[in-house]
Amino acid sequence: MGQEGVVPVPSERRSATSLSVTPYCLVLLAPQLEYLLHLRHTERGREETTSIVMVKGKRVIQRIENAASRQATFSKRRNGLVKKAFELSVLCDAEVALIILSSRGKLHQFSSSSMIETIKRYRAHSREDAGSTSMEHDIEL
């Protein structure tokens, strides 16, 4: 585990009488994660770990300005999305079609069966939904 920084409780705040009662916290900063170790001192002077809490850092979703980083992220996330689509089709016996158009104009696609047949099936299904919605709307009036 790569520790980038350790923040112990300052020693001047500790007193000899409060060592057996007061919990202390160490924050271990790793990329993307913070580990919080809650420590307490025993009467013999040893520290014992009472709990470990892992907190994921929040990431703001916005456009990546660096072109090289943006392309690397696109490639990694595209591959991850294709992998998930494949897993969904195998595990759940679902018909999956995935179409990705990159900002450079390249087409990336995945289909568990025929892409054309899946698109035809999608269009027929969406027409049925649109027709039933308009019929329900007409009945309500």
Domain match, 135 and 75 both: yes
Whole-number pLDDT of residue 45 = 59
**CA 86 to CA 114: how far, in whole Å?**
14
Predicted TM-score (pTM) of the model is 0.52
- Is residue 100 one of the residues assigned to a domain? yes
Residue 118 and residue 92 share a domain: yes
CA–CA gap between residue 18 and residue 9 (Å, rounded): 13
When divided into structural domains, the chain yields a total of 2
Residue 65 carries which DSSP code?
A: -
Q: Are residues 34 and 81 in the same domain?
A: no
Same domain? For 39 and 96 the reply is: no
pLDDT score of 14? 46
Q: What's the domain range around 41?
A: 6-56
CA distance 5 to 21: 26
Q: Which of 71, 72, 76, 77 minimizes the C-alpha distance to 104?
A: 71
Where the chain has pLDDT below 50, the residues are: 9, 11-29, 32
| Residue 130, pLDDT score | 79
Residue 134, in any domain of the structure: yes
Looking at the fold, whether 71 and 136 belong to one and the same domain comes out as yes
**Token pair in block for residue 76:** 């990694």
My answer on whether 72 and 42 are in the same domain is no
Query: Where residue 99 sits, what CATH number does that domain have?
Result: 3.40.1810.10
In a domain, 61, yes or no: no
C-alpha span between 141 and 137 (Å, rounded): 7
Q: How far apart are CA 43 and CA 22, in angstroms?
A: 12
Q: In this structure, what token pair is assigned to residue 41?
A: 């001192």
In a domain, 1, yes or no: no
* Domain identity same for 26 and 87: no
Return the structure tokens found at 9: 């409780």
Q: What pLDDT does residue 28 have?
A: 46
Q: Are residues 82 and 129 in the same domain?
A: yes
